[in-house]
Amino acid sequence: MDSPTDSPIPSSVMKIWDQWNLRGIIILSLSLQTFLILFAPLRKRTSNKLMLMPIWLAYLLADWAASCAVGLISSRQSDTQNHGDYGDLLAFWAPFLLLHLGGPYTIIAIALEDNALWPRHLLGLLFQAIAALYIFVQSLPRNKLWIPTLLLFLAGIIKYVECTRALYLASVDGLKEVMLRKPEPGWDYAKFMEEYSSKKDANLPIEIHVTEHSIMDKPNAYRLGRDEMDDNVAVVRHAYHFFQIFKALIIGLKLSFYEHKESRAIFLERTSQEALDLVTAELNFMYESFYTKVAVVHSKLGYIFRAISFCAVSVALFFFYKLEKHDFQRFDIVITYTLLYGAIGLDLMAVFILVFSDWTTVAMSNPWRDSVLGTILGAYLNFKRTRCPKKATSCLERTRRFLFRRWSESVSTFNLIDYSLKECTKVRPTVIDLLGLKGLREKMKYVFHKPFTMGLWDFIFEELKYKSILAKDPQASKKLFSARGDWILQDNELCGERNELLPFVDDFNYAQSLLLWHIATDLCDTLDKSNAEDRGCREYKADDHGCREYSKTMPGYMLYLLVMQTTMMSSVAGVAQIELLDTCAEAKSFFSKRKLGPGKHEEACNRFLKVNTEFKPVFVRGRKSKSVWFDACILAKELMKLEEKKWEIISKVWVELLSYTATHCRAHNHAEFLGQGGELVTFVWLLLSHFGIWEQFVVEEELTGKLIVGK
d(CA 140, CA 138): 6
How many C-beta atoms surround the C-beta of residue 116 within 10 A? 17
Query: What is the rounded distance in angstroms from the CA atom of residue 557 to the CA atom of residue 460?
Result: 14
Q: Determine the straight-line distance between the first and last CA of the chain, rounded to whole angstroms.
A: 109
Query: What SS3 state is found at 704?
Result: strand
Q: Are strands 410-413 and 448-451 parallel, antiparallel or unpaired?
A: antiparallel
What mean pLDDT comes out for the span 129-152? 87
Among 40, 69, 38, which residue's Cα sits nearest to residue 339? 69
User: Phi, psi (5° rounding) for residue 348?
Assistant: -65, -40
In terms of Cβ atoms closer than 10 Å to its own Cβ (0-12, 13-18, 19+), residue 98 is buried
% of the chain residues with pLDDT over 90: 37
DSSP letter, residue 450: E
Question: Which of 131-135, 206-210, 366-370 has maximum average pLDDT?
Answer: 131-135
Confidence of residue 320 (pLDDT cuts 50, 70, 90): very high
**Extended beta strands in 176-270, E state:** 206-214
At residue 165, the 3 state secondary structure works out as helix
With beta carbons less than 8 A apart as the criterion, state whether 59 and 53 touch. Answer: no
pLDDT, residue 80, reads 46
Average pLDDT over residues 538-544: 52
Could you give the CA distance from residue 216 to residue 265 in angstroms, rounded to a whole number? 13
User: Helix 272-291 to helix 232-246 angle, to the nearest 10 degrees?
Assistant: 60
Q: Indicate the pLDDT class of residue 662, thresholds 50, 70 and 90.
A: very high
Query: Which one, of 682, 674, 680, lies nearest residue 287 by Cα?
Result: 674
Residue pair 105/297 in contact by the 8 Å Cβ criterion: yes
Q: Which residue has the higher pLDDT, 334 or 142?
A: 334
Among residues of the chain, what percentage have pLDDT more than 70? 83
Strands 701-709 and 448-451: unpaired
Is the bond preceding residue 141 a cis peptide, omega within 30 degrees?
Answer: yes
pLDDT at residue 519 is higher than 90? yes
Higher pLDDT, 6 or 687: 687
- In tens, the pLDDT along 38-87 reads 999 999 999 888 889 999 999 999 999 999 998 888 887 766 444 557 77
Q: What are phi and psi of 86, to 5 degrees?
A: -65, -35
| Nearest Cα residue to 454 out of 632, 276, 613, 575 | 276
> Residue 630 class from Cβ within 10 Å (0-12 exposed, 13-18 middle, 19+ buried)?
buried
| Per-residue pLDDT reduced to its tens digit, 222-250 | 666 666 677 788 889 999 999 999 998 88
Q: Is 151 exposed, middle or buried (0-12, 13-18, 19+ CB in 10 A)?
A: buried
Q: State the Cα torsion 577-483-407-454 to the nearest 10°.
A: 120
| pLDDT tens per residue, range 271-292 | 999 999 999 999 999 999 999 9
683 versus 502: the higher-pLDDT residue is: 683
Q: Which position has the higher pLDDT, 644 or 681? A: 681
As a whole number, the mean pLDDT across the chain is 83
Q: Is 623 exposed, middle or buried (0-12, 13-18, 19+ CB in 10 A)?
A: exposed
Residue 476 — pLDDT band, cuts 50, 70, 90? confident
Number of H helices, E strands in the chain: 37, 4
Query: Could you tell me the pLDDT band of residue 536, with boundaries at 50, 70 and 90?
Result: low
pLDDT of residue 187: 64
Distance, CA of 632 to CA of 673 (rounded, Å): 30
Helix axes 257-268, 680-691, angle to 10 degrees: 110
Whole-prediction pTM: 0.89
Distance CA 620, CA 643 (A): 30
3-state class percentages of the chain: helix first, strand second, coil last, to nearest 5: 70, 5, 25
CA 632, 638, 643, 647 torsion: positive or negative? negative
Helix segments in 202-250, DSSP class H:
232-246
Highest mean pLDDT among 215-229, 440-454, 500-514: 500-514
**Dihedral sign for Cα atoms in the order 487, 492, 495, 501:** negative
Q: Which tens digits make up the pLDDT trace of 553-585?
A: 999 999 999 988 888 887 776 667 888 888 888
CA 699 to chain centre: 29
Label residue 433 exposed, middle or buried (CB < 10 Å: 0-12, 13-18, 19+). Answer: middle
Helices (H), 536-610: 537-541, 547-564, 566-573, 577-593, 601-609
Q: How confident is the model at residue 507 (pLDDT cuts 50, 70, 90)?
A: confident
Task: Give Cα 568 distance to the centre of its chain.
Answer: 12
Per the model's pLDDT, the better-predicted residue between 460 and 482 turns out to be 460
Alpha helices in 269-371 (DSSP H): 272-291, 294-297, 300-322, 330-355, 358-363, 366-369
Q: What per-residue confidence (pLDDT) applies to 221?
A: 57
Phi, psi dihedrals of residue 695, rounded to the nearest 5°: -80, -45
